[in-house]
Chain A
Amino acid sequence: GQNIDQPTEMTATEGAIVQINCTYQTSGFNGLFWYQQHAGEAPTFLSYNVLDGLEEKGRFSSFLSRSKGYSYLLLKELQMKDSASYLCAAMDSNYQLIWGAGTKLIIKP
């Protein structure tokens, strides 16, 4: 079956760095997405990885290892506004997104 695993909740301190991990199992693979979702709002696209390696975009970076079925989202210089849920989603061979349950990130001053 198809499955995405990510931690349910994480806590970090303002100004620090946090890494949110995601493992996936899908029928075929067409990329790994990370989305940010604030409560009551639609998800916002953060990153897309289809090749192995690290993609850096400002304070956010995303890493992918296809052989390990593993990705992580790295958030640097955390700000209070980064408190949100972070959703990992893998695209299968039919171009459908398989969603993780999301990781609730709590930022403390």
Chain B
Amino acid sequence: GAVVSQHPSWVICKSGTSVKIECRSLDFQATTMFWYRQFPKQSLMLMATSNEGSKATYEQGVEKDKFLINHASLTLSTLTVTSAHPEDSSFYICSATGLSGNTEAFFGQGTRLTVV
């Protein structure tokens, strides 16, 4: 099956710094990538949808200036958490769909972010 690679798997950063998470589709072209956040014992929450070459569409309540998403190519999307705070500590997961939209979404391994 298709592979989505997400890096890093885990990261610890100081409060006030920025962290970049990469999501790559290794063997297919991902026209759409989704970024999710999951707090402990809760379901996945969609943060934003990004289409290659255009601005991301953010869900209500998600700060665009804090969570910067870039989808510059068909194989790479990045999420940058700017000026991170302890409450941003969470599990971040990306997923991607290919050119034929009604297929399964392929997930990255997830990134556990801890802000201290």
Chain A residues with CB under 8 Å of B45's CB are 99
Q: How far is the CB of A3 from chain B (nearest CB, A)?
A: 13
Q: How far is the CB of B109 from chain A (nearest CB, A)?
A: 5
- Does B102 lie within 8 Å of A102, measured CB to CB? no
- Does B32 lie within 8 Å of A95, measured CB to CB? yes
Chain A residues with CB under 8 Å of B91's CB are 40
Within 8 A of A (CB), among B1-43: 1, 6, 32, 34, 42-43
Tell me whether A96 and B34 are in contact in the complex, defined as CB-CB below 8 angstroms, given that A42-B108, A45-B107, A50-B102 are known contacts: yes
Q: How far is the CB of A15 from chain B (nearest CB, A)?
A: 27
Q: How far is the CB of A95 from chain B (nearest CB, A)?
A: 4
Chain B residues with CB under 8 Å of A102's CB are 43
Q: How large is the interface on A (under 10, 10 to 19, 20 to 34, 35 or more residues)?
A: 20 to 34
Q: How far is the CB of A85 from chain B (nearest CB, A)?
A: 8
A30 within 8 A of B: yes
Chain A residues with CB under 8 Å of B105's CB are 33, 45, 97
Q: How many Å lie between the Cα of A40 and that of B93 in the bound state?
A: 11
Q: How far is the CB of A8 from chain B (nearest CB, A)?
A: 10
Q: How far is the CB of A47 from chain B (nearest CB, A)?
A: 9
Q: How large is the interface on B (under 10, 10 to 19, 20 to 34, 35 or more residues)?
A: 20 to 34
Within 8 A of A (CB), among B48-100: 49, 91, 93, 95, 97
B residues in contact (CB < 8 Å) with A: 1, 6, 32, 34, 42-46, 49, 91, 93, 95, 97, 101-110, 112
A residues in contact (CB < 8 Å) with B: 30-31, 33, 40-45, 48, 50, 87, 91, 95-97, 99-102
| Residue in A31, A42, A87 whose beta carbon sits within 8 Å of that of B110 in the complex | A42
Chain A residues with CB under 8 Å of B104's CB are 33, 45, 48
Tell me whether A97 and B34 are in contact in the complex, defined as CB-CB below 8 angstroms, given that A42-B93, A42-B107, A43-B107 are known contacts: yes
Q: How many Å lie between the Cα of A55 and that of B37 in the bound state?
A: 30
- Does B97 lie within 8 Å of A95, measured CB to CB? yes
Q: How many Å lie between the Cα of A10 and that of B34 in the bound state?
A: 29
| Residue in A30, A41, A42, A87 whose beta carbon sits within 8 Å of that of B102 in the complex | A30
